[in-house]
Chain A
Amino acid sequence: MSYHSFLLEPISCHAWNKDRTQIALCPNNHEVHIYKKDGSNWNKIHVLKEHNGQVTGIDWAPESNRIVTCGTDRNAYVWTLKGDAWKPTLVILRINRAARCVKWSPKENKFAVGSGSRLISVCYFEQDNDWWVCKHIKKPIRSTILCLDWHPNNVLLAAGSCDFKCRIFSAYIKEVEEKPAPTAWGSKMPFGEVMFESTGTAGWVHGVCFSDSGNRVAWASHDSTVAVAEGGKTAVCASLTSETLPLLCVTFITENSLVAAGHDCYPVLFVYDSNKAALSFGGKLDIPKQSAQKGMSARERFQNLDKKATTDSKEAVLESVHKNSISQLSILNGGKAQCAKFCTTGMDGGMTIWDVKTLESAMKDLKIV
């Protein structure tokens, strides 16, 4: 894995371009910086300044090469590359609280914005008026939407919210697409219909992710649990309580394996067994450096006992690559079906690229099914 420290401030959010040579990230302020990879260095090539508040979400559409950003100033902008510069187009979201997360749909003809106004704005481009318009999904959301993920059929949208629920909505916009075929989550999908609502887990839902086929959805909740639901006649839910601090982001790397990361500063693997409908812990994915064991002098031992009432020689230094919480996880290669590389950014201002093959060979008991 390779770690690169971009800044001293936390990276609020990031997004990669199609060929993974450029990364757009927000350095915890009102701007978006785009860095381009040059050998082993990263050079800042663009600075996108338009937001009046912190940028909370960035998504880069791979095919159409457009960037959508949303921020605490209650606005979203769609940026298109004209020549050598990125030009913004304002999108009126009609929200009265901050926007929290944004995602392009798989076909890139619409995007969804989750906000503190307890609603999701689904925005699409209206050709006649040459303007982005939006529709709201309000019921039955009772609190801020923290995270979103689209189903591969371009219609269903999973949303994790601060009212402790993960829901799947239909975001079908008849102006831009055909009626969708039935899925595992249901067949009637009018706009705003709730196809699935989770029960059982408490705690804000920080991260949500559909699997590659769209038949499974996973979410990470603030009460240190991860859960997977499988669609079908009756949705089957499996959850796992973990012994670690809450996880903030989760993604499928194959149809049965999930990688999640959060306040413990290292990614972890979970494996879902659909026969038993059970989720199990797969292993910690960080390979700590083997630090040399220094012998402790008698004086150090006494000092430890005096100051900390312990004879332990462990220093309070994090052994993981990231030195602060990991806030976002993104897949680089292989998609959600056979992920080969994924990237994490965190509050320590650093970005790490993890190679799945290397991790598998480094950890003997790790099995990614």
Chain B
Amino acid sequence: MSKNTVSDRFRKVDVDEYDENKFVDEEEGGENQQGPDEAEVDSLIRQGNLMGALQAVLKNPPINTKNQNVKDRAEGLVLKVLSSFKSTDIEKGVQSLDKNGVDLLMKYIYKGFERPSENSSAVLLQWHEKALSAGGVGCIVRVLTARKTV
């Protein structure tokens, strides 16, 4: 055996790295996306208007922004709203959303799975079950294939 077979670092070289025709994601202006309005959502939760809070928190998703803080804040807010729902009301909450809303909700749910905290996974799993029956597996496929996500 020749000496060359000892190292296999050559397998990790990206041969397309310096190709000028490489695919680059489109840069869409995301600077102005602030995510859902915290004050509005908080006041709706305090009033007990959970349906309204759900609609409000799914507005203005920070999909295009590169600012990680905005994304984290949005995710935290969504988690707060989802946790404040009673288990029996979750289904009604999902029904009140349109197709795009269900897709967006599923994106937030999976984002929440990524960083589990004390009770978040249990709540998210309940929401996941209801969102799945509304959106089907296609909804999950769209979460997986989206290049720009929350």
Contact = CB atoms under 8 A, between A and B. Distances in A.
A163 B142 CA distance: 16
Interface in B103-150: 103, 135-139, 141-142, 145-147
A202 B23 contact: no
B21 interface: yes
Q: Size band of the B side of the interface?
A: 10 to 19
B121 to A, nearest CB: 17
Interface in B25-57: none
Interface in B45-88: none
B23 A143 contact: yes
Contacts of B137: 224, 243-245
B11 interface: no
Contact of B136 (A203, A244, A246): A244
A118 B21 contact: yes
B147 A246 contact: no
A44 to B, nearest CB: 38
Contact of B142 (A142, A143, A224): A224
Q: Chain B: interface secondary structure?
A: helix
Contacts of A222: 141, 145
Contacts of A245: 137-138, 141
Nearest to A141: B21
A203 B142 CA distance: 8
A202 B141 contact: no
B22 interface: yes
A244 B138 CA distance: 5
Contacts of A142: 21-24
Contact of A202 (B21, B135, B146): B146
Contacts of B145: 202-203, 222-223
15 contacts: A141-B21, A142-B23, A163-B23, A164-B147, A202-B142, A222-B141, A223-B142, A223-B145, A241-B99, A241-B142, A243-B136, A243-B138, A243-B139, A244-B137, A245-B141
Given A142-B24, A202-B146, A223-B146, 7 more contacts: A142-B22, A163-B23, A202-B145, A202-B147, A241-B103, A241-B142, A246-B141
Interface of B: 21-24, 99, 103, 135-139, 141-142, 145-147
The 3 closest A-B pairs by CB, nearest first: A243-B136, A224-B138, A142-B23
Interface of A: 118, 138, 141-143, 163-164, 202-203, 222-224, 241-246
